């Protein structure tokens, strides 16, 4: 069995994509090349509860003690923000670029991202965070959407708006938003439309590809451009807790500490030596020199 101090290196045809993993031992960074998980290491020791990476490379890490941010998806430059404990974190892109974090009590707050990105020489303070309101039993935040026991909430410039549904377990905001609830899997179109019946725990999309995990653990995928949700045969019986995407494929994580990657028709699995995985986020692929 590999340990967290072990590094595995595989032939890399293209520059590897970093995959950030929030686990109970801390923040792990693994390198992904197509469907192969290469070297991995523990970048920060903590109890990590969530991780997010924005299109501009902003890295945000939620822990049981604080929210940390870094520019250029560089975990070595993580800095405190004086937020306190957080259960979830996300990056809102666009004109209102910001880090959004949720306290254990359900309070939601926003930290604007400076035009030049976060500067480790000028760390954010508690005064830089703006409160947006509170939700009941927050489960996840993605982009500008929050999933909670009282449904889906949309983050606006002035606060939080009720966006419908009940008992939301997860939400994916890119493209046509998707929501996993105890009643079913929903897609936002002309209102929330039922995509799959039955309780779902996890959902992910990059705006084209999409994956969902039913409450019983079965994993489903939908191809680019929509269509039917088809079951996946993955090389694991462990529960998938999160999915994210690279230019060439997808990567999934199990709670017990394995990453599964695909660049086509097959999935490959590799343990990365941690437990209690909460979420993953892929970073930008380095430019070829």
Domains and their CATH numbers in the chain: 17-282 (2.120.10.30)
> According to the model, what pLDDT value does residue 83 have?
97
Beta strand spans in 93-165 (E): 98-102, 107-112, 130-134, 138-142, 145-148, 151-155, 160-162
Q: Which residues partner with 98 through β-bridges? A: 92, 112
- Residue 127, helix vs strand vs coil: helix
> According to the model, what pLDDT value does residue 103 have?
98
If you compute the radius of gyration of the chain from its CA atoms, what whole number of angstroms results?
18
> According to the model, what pLDDT value does residue 265 have?
79
Within 10 Å of residue 263's Cβ, how many Cβ atoms? 20
Within 10 Å of residue 134's Cβ, how many Cβ atoms? 17
* Residue numbers in the chain where pLDDT is lower than 70: 1-14, 225, 286-289
Alpha helices in 87-130 (DSSP H): none
Residue with tokens 């999934």: 252
In what order do the strands lie in the sheet containing 98-102? 88-92, 98-102, 107-112, 130-134
* Residue 33 host element (H or E): strand 26-33
> According to the model, what pLDDT value does residue 158 have?
85
Tell me the C-alpha distance between 138 and 50, whole Å: 13
């Amino acid at each position: 069995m590999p340990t967290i101090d072990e590094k595995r290196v595989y032939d890399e045809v293209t520059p590897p994509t970093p995959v950030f993993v929030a686990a109970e031992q801390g923040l792990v960074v693994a390198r992904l090349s197509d469907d192969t998980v290469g070297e991995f290491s523990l970048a920060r020791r903590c109890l990590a509860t969530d991780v997010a990476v924005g299109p501009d490379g902003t890295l945000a890490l939620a822990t049981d003690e604080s929210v940390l941010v870094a520019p250029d998806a560089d975990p070595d430059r993580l800095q405190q923000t004086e937020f306190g404990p957080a259960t979830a974190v996300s990056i809102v892109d666009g004109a209102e670029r910001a880090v959004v974090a949720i306290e254990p009590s359900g309070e939601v707050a926003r930290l604007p991202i400076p035009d030049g990105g976060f500067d480790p020489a000028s760390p954010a303070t508690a005064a830089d965070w703006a409160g947006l309101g509170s939700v009941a039993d927050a489960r996840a935040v993605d982009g500008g959407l929050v999933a909670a026991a009282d449904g889906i909430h949309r983050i606006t410039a002035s606060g939080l708006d009720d966006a419908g549904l009940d008992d939301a377990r997860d939400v994916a905001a890119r493209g046509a938003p998707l929501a996993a609830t105890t009643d079913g899997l929903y897609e936002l179109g002309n209102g929330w439309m039922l995509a799959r019946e039955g309780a779902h725990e996890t959902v992910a999309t990059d705006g084209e590809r999409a994956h969902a995990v039913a409450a019983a653990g079965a994993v489903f995928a939908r191809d680019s451009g929509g269509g039917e949700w088809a079951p996946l045969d993955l090389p694991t019986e462990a529960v998938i807790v999160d999915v994210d995407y690279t230019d060439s494929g997808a990567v999934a994580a199990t709670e017990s500490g394995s990453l599964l990657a695909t660049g086509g028709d097959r999935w490959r699995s590799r343990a990365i030596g941690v437990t209690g995985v909460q979420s993953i986020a892929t970073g930008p692929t380095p430019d070829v020199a």
